[in-house]
A = this chain, B = another copy of it.
Amino acid sequence: MRQTFDETTSPSFGATHLPLIRSAMAEQGMDGFLIPHEDEHQNEYLPAANDRLAWATGFTGSAGAAVVLRDAAAIFVDGRYALQVRDQVDGAVFEIRDLVEGGVPAYLREAAQPGWVIGYDARLHSPEALERLRGAAAKAGAALKAVDVNPLDQAWGDARPAQPTAPVVPHPLQYAGEDSASKRARIGAALSEQGAEAAVLTSPASIAWLFNIRGGDVIRSPLPLAQAILNADGTARLFLDPAKLTADLPAWLGNQVRLETPADLENALAEMKGRPVLVDPAQSAAWYVEALKADGAQIVEAPDPCALPRACKNAVEIEGARRAHVRDGAALTRFLHWVATEAQESLPDEIEVVGKLESFREASGALKDLSFDTIAGAGANGAIVHYHPSRRLNRKTERGSLLLVDSGAQYLDGTTDVTRTMAIGEPSLEMRERFTLVLKGHLALARVRFPVGTTGPALDTVARAPMWAAGLDYDHGTGHGVGSYLGVHEGPQRIAKIPNAVALAPGMIVSNEPGYYKAGAYGIRIETLQVVTEATPIPGGERPMLGFETLTLAPIDRRLVERELLTGEERAQLDAYHARVLAAVGPLVPAEVAAWLEEACVPI
C-alpha cells in the first residue's frame, strides 16, 4: 500500500532539537533564526530531507513557519491546522501563533530586541516574503542577516535524510501534446517581449512542464528537483543531479538543452552579468536574486513565465484528463459501491476505507501514485478540513454518520482530485439539508457561464451564495488549479475569496469543492475537477461566454439529497451528470457494481 499511517514526527522533537539549533545559531553569532516551511524550490510538498519545520517542531502540515530566538520560540500555522498543531507540537517549547493574523512579522516586532541579529537562509525565502520580515525586524530595532550555512541543517547533521535522486524520465508527446522545443520557443519569445534575455526557473513544476520530463523527488507529485535557465532564443541550461539521469534523457532533451549539474548553477548566474534576467520574486528564493545582483545582472521581476502557459492545458492534455477521469471514475464507482453496500454492515475504520479505495485505483494498472494522501474523515473527523487518518486518530464509521473521502490519483495522462461524502446508515434531516445546500453551490459553479477576463474571486461567490442565504459558509477556497500529471495544487488561477488577478482561460483545470463542516459532528464536501471550455455563443446571446466541462465522473450520494430544495434546473443538471457517469463508467465496472450504479444514477 502506498499510503502510510505511522506518524513520522513526535511532540518531543521541539525539546530535543531546539537546543541543537540554538547552539548552531550562537556559534554564528545570531540571536534568532527563521524557519519557513518552504524549501529551496518553494514547493508545497517537500522531500523528507527538506522538511526542516517538521524536524524542528514536529509539525507536518503543508504550510507554516517557526522562529527560534535566544530565549523563546514560536510556531505559526493557519486556521486549517489549529487543531493539528496542538497535537504535534510541544506548546511548552513553541508558542503557538496564527500564521495569518499578525504572523511572523508581528512576532518579530514584539519579541526581537534592539541590536539583535536574526538569521535566515536566503535559499528558503522569496524576496517578497523577506521584505515583509525585514520591515518587521527593523521596527524592533533588529536586523535580518543571511547565513552562509543553515544552522538547522548543521544541527540536523547526519540524521538528515539524503537529498532524493529519483530518476528523471521523458514525458512523451502523447501525454504532453507539445514538444519542448515549441514550448521553449514561445516562452522565449515572451521573455523578449518583457525585455529579458533569459529567465531563471526554480519551480520544479515549471521545469517538468517546459522540458517534458517527470521525476519522483517529491512524494505524490512526479517532480524533478532541478533549476534551469531559459534563454530568449529557446535554448536552455538544465541543472540536474547526474544521479537522476536516465539513459534516454539526453537525447530526449536534444542539443538545444545543455545538461549541467547543480554545482554549475552559480557560475551560470555569474555569466548573466550585465544582461536582463527574469526572476519571479514571489516564487524564486531570494538567494537567486541576490546572487544575480551581486554578479551584476539586471533583474526583471515578473511572474514565472511558464506558470500561465502550463495552467492552460492543450487539446492532448485535456483529452488525457478525460481518459484519466473515466479510469479514475471506474475505481471510484467500485469504491462507492463498496461503501453503499458492504461497508454499511462492516462499518470499517478510516484506514480500511483508504486501503480499499487505493486497491481499486491500483487495479487499473495505470496508477503512478496517489496525487495526495487520501483524506478519509469518519463522523467528527470529517469536520477537520485537512485531516489525514493515522493509527492514533483512526476512527470507525458509525451508523447515522457521514464519511467524507477526498482523494486523487496520478496517471501518465492526468491528475485527479475528487471528494465524495456518503451516508453510513440513515442520515439526519440536518445532514441532508446541508448536503443539499453544498450541492446547490457546487452545481451553480459547474454550470456558470462567464465572460473572458473573469477571475476566480468573481466565481467564488457563485458557489457560496446558497450557503450564505442559509447563514452558513466554509473556511477554505472553492477551487484550485490542477496539473497534468503534475502537482494537484497548481497556480496561477484560484477560485477563492482572497484576491487573484489571473483570468480563467480555456484549458485551465480547476476544482469545484464547496463544503460544510460541523465541528465535532460531521463534514460535507463535494468536489469535482472541471476544465474551462472555449468561449461559445449562447443562442440569443450576444457575447461568447466561457464555461466549464466537468471531468470527474462519480455518482453523488442521492440519499443525502433533499429533492424539494433543488430547483427544476438543478435537478435536470444533476440527472444529466448522473446519466453521463452511468454511460462512461457503467461499461467499465463489474456487473454487480454496474447494477448498483444504475440505481445510484436514477433521476432524482
Chain B residues whose C-beta falls within 8 Å of the C-beta of A501 in the assembled complex: 499
Please measure, in the bound complex, the distance between the C-alpha atom of A131 and the C-alpha atom of B530, giving whole angstroms. Answer: 41
CB contact list, A535-566 vs B, under 8 A: 537-545
CB contact list, A437-492 vs B, under 8 A: 447-451, 453-454, 457-462, 465, 468-473
Once A462-B465, A501-B499 are accepted as A-B contacts, the answer to whether A538 and B470 lie under 8 Å apart by CB is yes
Chain B residues whose C-beta falls within 8 Å of the C-beta of A544 in the assembled complex: 471
Does A537 contact B471, Cβ atoms closer than 8 Å?
yes
A497 sits at the interface (CB 8 A) = yes
Chain B residues whose C-beta falls within 8 Å of the C-beta of A545 in the assembled complex: 468, 471
A567 sits at the interface (CB 8 A) = yes
Interface residues on A, range: 20 to 34
Q: Select the residue from A454, A458, A462, A497 with max chain B CB neighbours within 10 A.
A: A458
Once A499-B499, A499-B501, A567-B567 are accepted as A-B contacts, the answer to whether A449 and B471 lie under 8 Å apart by CB is yes
Please measure, in the bound complex, the distance between the C-alpha atom of A538 and the C-alpha atom of B468, giving whole angstroms. Answer: 9
Does A543 contact B449, Cβ atoms closer than 8 Å?
no
Q: Give min CB distance, A26 to chain B, whole Å.
A: 34
Across the two chains, which residue of chain B brings its CB closest to A501?
B499
Please measure, in the bound complex, the distance between the C-alpha atom of A349 and the C-alpha atom of B447, giving whole angstroms. Answer: 44
Does B470 contact A541, Cβ atoms closer than 8 Å?
yes
Does B448 contact A468, Cβ atoms closer than 8 Å?
yes
Does B449 contact A541, Cβ atoms closer than 8 Å?
no
Question: For chain A, what secondary structure do more than half of its interface residues adopt (helix, strand, loop), or is it mixed?
Answer: loop
Chain B residues whose C-beta falls within 8 Å of the C-beta of A473 in the assembled complex: 451, 543
Once A457-B458, A499-B499, A499-B501 are accepted as A-B contacts, the answer to whether A448 and B471 lie under 8 Å apart by CB is no
Chain B residues whose C-beta falls within 8 Å of the C-beta of A451 in the assembled complex: 468, 473
Instruction: Select which of B448, B471, B497 is within 8 A of A542 by beta carbon.
Output: B471
Across the two chains, which residue of chain B brings its CB closest to A430?
B540
Across the two chains, which residue of chain B brings its CB closest to A518?
B542
Once A499-B501, A501-B499, A567-B567 are accepted as A-B contacts, the answer to whether A541 and B472 lie under 8 Å apart by CB is yes
Please measure, in the bound complex, the distance between the C-alpha atom of A53 and the C-alpha atom of B471, giving whole angstroms. Answer: 50
Chain B residues whose C-beta falls within 8 Å of the C-beta of A471 in the assembled complex: 449, 537-545
Instruction: Select which of B459, B497, B542 is within 8 A of A461 by beta carbon.
Output: B459
Does A540 contact B461, Cβ atoms closer than 8 Å?
no
CB contact list, A161-197 vs B, under 8 A: none
Chain B residues whose C-beta falls within 8 Å of the C-beta of A538 in the assembled complex: 469-471
Q: Select the residue from A447, A457, A501, A539 with max chain B CB neighbours within 10 A.
A: A457
Chain B residues whose C-beta falls within 8 Å of the C-beta of A454 in the assembled complex: 497
Once A499-B499, A499-B501 are accepted as A-B contacts, the answer to whether A449 and B461 lie under 8 Å apart by CB is no
Chain B residues whose C-beta falls within 8 Å of the C-beta of A468 in the assembled complex: 448-451, 545
Please measure, in the bound complex, the distance between the C-alpha atom of A460 and the C-alpha atom of B541, giving whole angstroms. Answer: 20
Please measure, in the bound complex, the distance between the C-alpha atom of A366 and the C-alpha atom of B284, giving whole angstroms. Answer: 63
Q: Give min CB distance, A472 to chain B, whole Å.
A: 6
CB contact list, A560-604 vs B, under 8 A: 567
Chain B residues whose C-beta falls within 8 Å of the C-beta of A461 in the assembled complex: 458-459, 461-462
Please measure, in the bound complex, the distance between the C-alpha atom of A471 and the C-alpha atom of B452, giving whole angstroms. Answer: 12
Please measure, in the bound complex, the distance between the C-alpha atom of A459 and the C-alpha atom of B457, giving whole angstroms. Answer: 10
- 14 new A-B pairs (CB below 8 Å) besides A459-B461, A468-B545, A499-B501? A448-B469, A449-B468, A457-B457, A461-B461, A461-B462, A469-B538, A470-B538, A471-B537, A471-B541, A471-B542, A471-B544, A472-B541, A472-B542, A472-B543
Task: Report A's interface with B, CB cutoff 8 A.
Answer: 447-451, 453-454, 457-462, 465, 468-473, 497, 499, 501, 537-545, 567
| Pairs A-B, 4 closest by C-beta atoms | A471-B541, A471-B538, A458-B461, A449-B468
Q: Can you report 29 residue pairs joining A to B where beta carbons are below 8 Å apart?
A: A447-B469, A448-B469, A449-B468, A449-B469, A449-B471, A451-B468, A451-B473, A453-B497, A454-B497, A457-B457, A458-B460, A458-B461, A458-B497, A459-B461, A461-B461, A462-B465, A468-B545, A470-B538, A471-B538, A471-B540, A471-B541, A471-B542, A471-B543, A471-B544, A471-B545, A472-B543, A499-B499, A499-B501, A567-B567
